[in-house]
Amino acid sequence: MATLIRVDEVKEILGVKEAKAYKVIRQLNHELEEKGFLTVSGRIPLDYLKERFNLNDDGSM
């Protein structure tokens, strides 16, 4: 099962402010919807965030 993360976790992982974190979540959810996936507003799968930002499991690039 995919782990869905919220804005606070996106902020911490990416080191961005809240507004930017919400923008990232909206953009990534839009990408997933275009691929036919169901999404939850304000949350994003952790694995997809890592994939799109090329992050390792420890959060580094």
Annotate 4-21 with three-state secondary structure: EECHHHHHHHHCCCHHHH
Is 0.85 topped by the overall pTM?
yes
Q: What is the pLDDT of residue 45?
A: 97
Q: What is the pLDDT of residue 2?
A: 84
φ and ψ at residue 9, rounded to 5 degrees: -70, -35
Q: What is the pLDDT of residue 59?
A: 58
Average confidence (pLDDT) per 10 residues, the chain, 61 residues: 94 98 98 97 97 82 61
Q: What is the pLDDT of residue 61?
A: 61
